Amino acid sequence: MPNGKRAAALISSFLLLFSGLVLSACSSSSIDASALAGPDDDEWLSDGRTYSAQRYSPLTQINADNIGELGLAWYDDLDTYRGVEATPVYADGVLYNTLPWNITIAYDAKTGERLWTFDPKVDRSRGRLACCEPVSRGLALWKNSVIIATLDGRIVAIDRKTGEEQWSTQTFGDDYAYTITGAPRVFDGKVVIGQSGGDMGVRGFIIALDADTGEKVWKFFLTPGATPEPDGEASDPIMDMIRKTWSEDGLWKELGGGANAWDSIAYDPELDLVYVGTGNGSPLSWYHRSNSEGDNLFVCSIVALNGKDGSYAWHYQMVPEEDWDFTCTSSIVSAELNIDGQDRKVIMQAPKNGYYYVIDRATGELISAEPYVKMNWSLGLDPETGRPNINPEAHYGTDPALVYPGSAGAHNWFPMAYSPRTKLAYFPAYEWGMVFAVDPDWEPKPMRSNAGWGGYTGDALEKRMELTQEAAEVENAFLAAYDPVKQELAWKVPLPRHGNGGVMVTASDLVFEGTTKQTFAAFDARTGKQLWEFPTQSAPVAGPITYELDGEQYVAINAGWGGGAAQVEQGLGIELPRSSARLLVFKLGGTKQLPPLKAEEPVSPPPRLTASEAEVRKGAQLYADTCALCHGPRAVGGVKDLRHMSPEAHAAFNQIVLGGAYVDKGMASFDDILSEEDAEAIHGYLISRANEDWGADR
């Protein structure tokens, strides 16, 4: 080759290499605090999109005029029938998603090609400690890392380009039944995470790690320790104040008290305040937990902590004396509202208890709160203190009591959205009641569901069933559009069942939500009119996102029915046939089609009941204490409907329950808390229930 041509070829090769390096650099820009606070219009960098967590996108290419052209661009089969609750995130042409057991996948956001998959190898037996399946609600981005929080308590940073692990930090030990199901958040270079486990018995805390190294920055406990000894953590200076709100004796000392921050965490960068939504008490019954004494801080509260060192700033307790499995872990959304002619910087939350709260985010002052569903646990709020006037009749005893709303909540974890254009908040709501009663003879079971509830046999059961039927007559679910200034519903769209998914809103005034009709739908944000719907074959419970790539706007959603909402609905015996979970991505002009839904497998008749009536009664109580959390009350529904076991499962029942035969499916052995006689009693109860309901629910 002549020298001139060789030189030209070398220059051409160099230019190609240089341009490739430039493209590579551009395709993975480092994500810093300013990007997380105010991402570009085409991005969705964090769980709530911005620090405000409004789940509002400025994109407008998809609008009311062309929404009918929205079609499936690509999808990915996720190979699981577990609930998929994660909000994906998007940056630089790549979509990141996380599945049950924290398996994390990076996709080419335009084509759906899998770029890498990271499996943190979570021990499947840990699923026994997850009240509502081994789900994950999302992940975080920081600089060139994807950050995940695993069910077994690790925070892991993964290289965004390669999917290789960068660092890993264990955030808890084995002293309590801790898990993590919430999405980690990155605020100003710190990864902030709480944990799940309040139904099992845990001492709640929040922890911040350095996002570059995984080193602990601070930790704050949300309930007192069993002894007054200091923890050596950021919560120490106010622990005496917390302790005074608990009884001197009570099972909280054994079971931790609860208040675990299992999902909602928010941040104000100007105030450098981290807002922590806390969970229910452990055990669930106030009678057993704290001898029916004290407010039990910080159960069911919002706690504001200083981001730098985790020190206490303020708190507002929404449910003192918490007795109903109410949690305040629903979305915390920041906004600026004009209230009585004054611009107020607020946080807003619509938690399980049925009130919609507007709170000053600098001081914790309650600005307003009104119910948006039927309730009877509270008779109103004190206008001076913001404290609820608790209905004495809602504090149940051994005699069953019907309480509104029920423990699944008027609004649970499903993400809420807020539009600064319409000035409305959007969230799925559920109007229903639940029957509660105390079991006076209950004893705690460490590392297992610890409610302290009773009334499952005899006359109490008969009354429970009557009250449950009464609650069913007012039950309804809907998508709510709520005016936080007027404190009233602007509109609502009826939906058939509880468990409707998280919400996103765009600047073209479209509200997107997955529904229990097994569809993904778009509504007019101002009127509630349904504008578009796509059959998804499995109800999407996760939060949707939208992003723009190469001039096209995309909308992405995980469709994977499961988790706590599914358990409630499965418990009512109205589960629908469904596909395995999928990640669905839409754009204008998308033409992909989902494969046909497979036919349901037939269910075998149950075996003949041979257990005595006494054994069945014993099995009923053991089931309620040990199994109902995952498998549904009265053995209806749940992760697996145990009335519909196969002959093979019946034959291997003790090996499954005591021997860990299904540990790879997340069903761990219970031989540490159940004897062989106990397992046989539970099996007898399940056979009894299967025979009672055979043919009536299929």
Cα separation of 429 and 47, whole Å? 21
Cα separation of 442 and 292, whole Å? 15
pLDDT for 584: 98
pLDDT for 567: 62
Confidence of residue 562 (pLDDT cuts 50, 70, 90): confident
The token duo for 654 is 């003790």
Confidence of residue 187 (pLDDT cuts 50, 70, 90): very high
SS3 content of the chain, % helix, strand, coil (to 5): 20, 30, 50
CB atoms within 10 A of CB 30: 12
The pLDDT > 70 percentage for the chain reads: 92
pLDDT above 70 (res 620): yes
Same fold, 56-484+499-588 and 613-693: no
pLDDT for 599: 64
pLDDT above 90 (res 657): no
Q: With the C-alpha atoms ordered 61, 65, 67, 70, is the resulting torsion angle positive or negative?
A: negative
Please choose, from the candidates 143, 169, 144, the residue with its C-alpha nearest in 3D space to the C-alpha of residue 156. Answer: 169
- CATH fit for domain 56-484+499-588, picks 1.20.1250.20, 3.40.50.720, 2.140.10.10, 3.50.50.60: 2.140.10.10
Q: What is the pLDDT of residues 396-453, one digit of tens each?
A: 999 999 999 999 999 999 999 999 999 999 999 999 999 999 999 999 988 888 999 9
pLDDT for 573: 54
Q: What is the pLDDT of residues 371-404, one digit of tens each?
A: 999 999 999 999 999 999 999 999 999 999 999 9
CATH code given to domain 613-693: 1.10.760.10
Cα separation of 177 and 602, whole Å? 36
Locate the domains of the chain by residue range: 56-484+499-588, 613-693
Cα-based distances in Å from 677 to 441, 622, 674, 681: 20, 11, 8, 6
Cα separation of 219 and 208, whole Å? 6
The pLDDT > 90 percentage for the chain reads: 74
Residues facing residue 74 across a β-bridge: 585
The token duo for 246 is 């608990």
Most distant CA pair in the chain, distance: 101
Task: Provide the annotated active-site residues.
Answer: 325
- Secondary structure letter of residue 3 according to DSSP: H
Total-model pTM:
0.87
Cα separation of 464 and 194, whole Å? 35
pLDDT for 462: 93
Cα separation of 477 and 410, whole Å? 9
The upper half-sphere exposure of residue 313, i.e. CA atoms within 13 Å in the direction of its Cβ, equals 23
pLDDT above 90 (res 105): yes
More confident residue, 692 or 548: 548
Mean predicted confidence (pLDDT) in 626-636: 78
The token duo for 329 is 């872990």
275 Cβ partners below 8 Å, 6+ apart? 265, 266, 267, 268, 302, 303, 304, 332, 347, 361
pLDDT for 10: 38
The token duo for 239 is 């622990």
Q: What is the pLDDT of residues 461-484, one digit of tens each?
A: 999 999 999 999 999 999 999 999
